[in-house]
């Protein structure tokens, strides 16, 4: 069993953010490691950075809020390997590899959430409905990108960008942020439910 599994996603998310931003100064200095800088910049920051932090939060919060089993090794490795493929695809200038990572991570996370909803004893906070919407838009954006690249169809970049921003990013912010922002502002506590699978040392902690 992996101890503190969320930490690895947070570290990977930070590295993806650095990599995604570094593409621009590298390009200006004449070192172009990818053909489409803007495309990989979006992928690394939205799927690599944001999705890593979302995964780290969800694999911690979902079992605690639903009073269900914590993330299993196979689930964790599948999600993390998927996230790892995103920067690997950028390093080798292979967008398909990055998208494969997004698909693997997203499918595993959707399975994880459905499973914990079914076996959990408690209901999730209403704000988590936005997380489901965000993953829905992840699937739509991935499909549009693959169709455009593999079938040479002209799909408006503005449409894809709006799905990225309005669909994926904002729903993740609402889904996760509505639960965490009050904690960061000091208005309440992040309550960890008591259950036999809880890996936290205490039942209630201040973030």
pLDDT attached to residue 31: 87
- In this prediction, residue 205 has a pLDDT band, given cuts at 50, 70 and 90, of very low
What per-residue confidence (pLDDT) applies to 42? 85
Task: Determine the pLDDT at residue 154.
Answer: 63
Specify the pLDDT at position 192: 44
Task: Identify the residue with better confidence: 79 or 165.
Answer: 79
Q: What is the model's pTM?
A: 0.80
Place of tokens 């988590």: 128
Do residues 193 and 65 touch, judged by C-beta distance below 8 A?
Answer: yes
pLDDT recorded at residue 106: 93
Residue-level pLDDT at 152:
65
Q: What are phi and psi of 92, to 5 degrees?
A: -95, 10
Mean pLDDT value across the chain: 81
């Amino acid at each position: 069993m992996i101890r503190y599994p969320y930490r690895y996603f947070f570290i990977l998310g930070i590295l993806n953010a650095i990599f995604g931003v570094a593409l621009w100064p590298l390009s200006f200095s004449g070192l172009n490691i990818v053909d489409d800088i803007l495309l990989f910049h979006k992928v690394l920051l939205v799927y690599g950075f944001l999705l890593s932090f979302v995964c780290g939060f969800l694999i911690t919060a979902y079992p605690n809020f639903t009073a269900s089993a914590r993330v299993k090794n196979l689930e964790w490795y599948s999600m993390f390997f998927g996230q790892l493929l995103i920067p690997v695809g950028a390093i080798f200038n292979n967008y398909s590899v990055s998208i494969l990572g997004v698909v693997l991570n997203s499918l595993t996370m959707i399975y994880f959430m459905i499973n914990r909803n079914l076996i959990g004893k408690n209901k999730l906070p209403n704000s988590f409905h936005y997380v489901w919407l965000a993953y829905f838009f992840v699937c739509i954006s991935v499909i549009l990108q693959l169709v455009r690249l593999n079938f040479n169809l002209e799909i408006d970049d503005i449409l894809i960008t709006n799905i990225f921003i309005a669909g994926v990013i904002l729903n993740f912010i609402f889904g996760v942020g509505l639960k965490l922002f009050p904690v960061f502002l000091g208005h309440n506590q992040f309550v960890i439910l008591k259950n036999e699978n809880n890996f936290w040392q205490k039942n209630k902690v201040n973030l």
